[in-house]
Amino acid sequence: MICLTAAQMRELDRRTIEELGLPGMVLMELAGRGVADSATELLPSGGRFVVVAGPGNNGGDGYVAARHLLGRGRTGRVLLLGDPTRLTGDAAANRKLFLRLGGVEVVDDGSAALQPLLDAGLVIDAIFGTGLQREVEGRRRVAIEAINGCARPVLAVDLPSGIDSDTGRCCGVAVRATRTVTFGCLKRGLVSGDGAACAGAISIVDIGIPPGFVAAIDARCEQIDEAQVRALVPAVGPTDHKGTRGHLLVVAGSAAKAGAAWLAARGALRAGVGLVTIVTSVGARSRMGAALPEVMVEVFESGGEQLTAADLASLRAMANAKNAVLVGPGLDHGSETAQVVADLLARLEVPAVVDAEALNLLAGRLDAFAAAGASLVLTPHPGEMARLLATTTREVQSDRLAAAVRCAEACRQVVVLKGARSVVAHPDGRIGVIPIECGALGTAGSGDVLGGVIGSLLARRLDPYQAALLGTYAHAVAGLSATDQASTGAPLASEIAEATGAVLYELARPTP
């Protein structure tokens, strides 16, 4: 499902009004009626509502919704923030219609306490629309804080007021909605960051924009759904064997972090790869023992605990004899390790996932990713992304979509920015948002499992963007499934790996 910027949505509105000839008043009528439909579901028959309206078109939508609710037997009023004379065009016309039909309006002149005015069964937030980018101040800030403190269901119009429509950033303060009714298409700010957290359940209202106009928009951003990833799951034929399902090499590291490689290998096997070989230090190999007997384990050519230049030739030959590579789980920060990783990437002939310590080792050297000899998938968490981009975690989280695209473009590789609603970015500017939040994925080793899953899908010959989308989606669903199955509600990373196999199996089954 595509996700639009505010400018793209304005362009759709413009074309619908100017080229199709559908008046803006009709678009506002359809939008407001859609809000009233959702409000009717949330508000019992005879219940009272209050619309908190701003002086723009978002407020106009609120007046339309209030008029329809009155016609459906609900009682309520509009609380207008600001001077009524500031309403113009369609918003002003709909205010007049509401008042002519006996609607009650309270104008906030800045002197009244707002909290008592919100004593209704439902609050409808119609303060800001898609144009907000500045920090919220003054009476509008007071109103948003009052809405958040009213302990009532809140229905947001188009998007929660206080949220930047393009980034999902909270502009100082934002409405925490029970439900959001958005118009025409999803907005980027509803699927990422604070916006996703504040929106609640989201419904999309058709306001008359022709599908052809929507199809002509180069949206570049989409929210990934189950149907899309089902189409990506590699088929397993009845005559397939381990040699036809790919061979993944995991380049891992220190004895202290031997479990990282083990978890990556487990995730890869559960994702269906035919063979996994781990190449690691002598100490890490001794710690692994036979815990995962399905995995082959080799040691660094030099026989040491860290990668050195003496390991490069054998490592390169080993990697290029496989179908895909995962570099990073548990690698040590040796003096030569960063250069060995950079040199390995430069001479790769097969696709690879770059994760964990490999990302940290090459932070500040994005050219090493851009110069890779084969396609890569980088899988940073927000802290690792901040190091890659020489910025702060806070800046990354304030606009996750932009951070992922910036990194993908700079590295000329696919990037997965992990976290709640992980973002998959292609270097050509495409963005896929995984619409799943799962706190269980914040456990130690979960990221190693994801690296193994994506590596497995690369070895099974999916292209990097497809492998990243499918792997990240399946991993997130597996986190939810493992949480349900864990007796404590806190699954281990190994349990998430187990659940990933079941998720991919279900995704591969034909839909009824």
CATH of the domain at 283: 3.40.1190.20
| 97 and 156 part of one domain | yes
Cβ contacts of residue 18 below 8 Å, gap of 6+? none
Query: Among 196, 219, 242, which residue terminates a domain?
Result: 219
Nearest Cα residue to 132 out of 155, 157, 149 = 157
Query: Would the pTM count as exceeding 0.85?
Result: yes
Beta bridge partners of 414: 377
What pLDDT, on a 0 to 100 scale, did the predictor assign at position 334? 75
What pLDDT, on a 0 to 100 scale, did the predictor assign at position 81? 95
What pLDDT, on a 0 to 100 scale, did the predictor assign at position 291? 75
| 443 and 341 part of one domain | yes
Cα-based distances in Å from 383 to 145, 217, 230, 246, 391: 31, 33, 31, 32, 9
What is the helix (H) or strand (E) element at residue 336, kind and residue range?
none
Are the C-beta atoms of residues 11 and 1 closer than 8 Å to each other?
Answer: no
Are the C-beta atoms of residues 4 and 192 closer than 8 Å to each other?
Answer: no
Are the C-beta atoms of residues 485 and 491 closer than 8 Å to each other?
Answer: yes
Cα separation, 360 vs 338, in Å, equals: 9
Are the C-beta atoms of residues 362 and 338 closer than 8 Å to each other?
Answer: yes
Instruction: Look up the CATH number of the domain holding residue 118.
Output: 3.40.50.10260
| 268 and 167 part of one domain | no
Cα separation, 468 vs 423, in Å, equals: 10
427 torsion bin: left (phi>0), alpha (psi -120 to 50), beta (else): alpha
How many C-beta atoms lie closer than 10 Å to residue 159's C-beta? Answer: 33
Cα separation, 125 vs 147, in Å, equals: 8
φ and ψ at residue 191, rounded to 5 degrees: -110, 0
| 413 and 477 part of one domain | yes
How many C-beta atoms lie closer than 10 Å to residue 237's C-beta? Answer: 9
| 38 and 127 part of one domain | yes
End-to-end CA, the chain: 22
Residue owning tokens 């080993």 = 318
What pLDDT, on a 0 to 100 scale, did the predictor assign at position 264? 97
Number of domains present in the structure of the chain: 2
| 346 and 391 part of one domain | yes
| 56 and 182 part of one domain | yes
Are the C-beta atoms of residues 152 and 123 closer than 8 Å to each other?
Answer: yes
What is the helix (H) or strand (E) element at residue 488, kind and residue range?
none
| 171 and 262 part of one domain | no
pLDDT, mean of each 10-residue run, the chain (512 residues): 97 97 98 98 92 96 98 95 93 98 92 84 96 92 95 97 97 98 98 96 97 96 97 91 95 91 96 97 86 90 90 97 97 88 97 96 95 98 97 96 98 97 98 96 96 98 98 98 88 96 94 76
| 65 and 150 part of one domain | yes
Token pair recorded at residue 104: 């009650």
Cα separation, 79 vs 393, in Å, equals: 38
| 285 and 212 part of one domain | no
| 12 and 111 part of one domain | yes
| 422 and 487 part of one domain | yes
Query: Among 219, 243, 266, which residue terminates a domain?
Result: 219
What pLDDT, on a 0 to 100 scale, did the predictor assign at position 46? 84
Are the C-beta atoms of residues 66 and 49 closer than 8 Å to each other?
Answer: yes
What pLDDT, on a 0 to 100 scale, did the predictor assign at position 459? 98
DSSP result, 409-471: HHHTSEEEE-STT-EEE-TTS-EEE-----GGGGSTTHHHHHHHHHHHHHHTT--HHHHHHHH
Nearest Cα residue to 275 out of 211, 322, 207, 206 = 322
What pLDDT, on a 0 to 100 scale, did the predictor assign at position 74? 94
Provide the domain limits for residue 482: 226-508
Query: Among 161, 192, 219, which residue terminates a domain?
Result: 219
Query: Position 137: which residue type?
Result: E
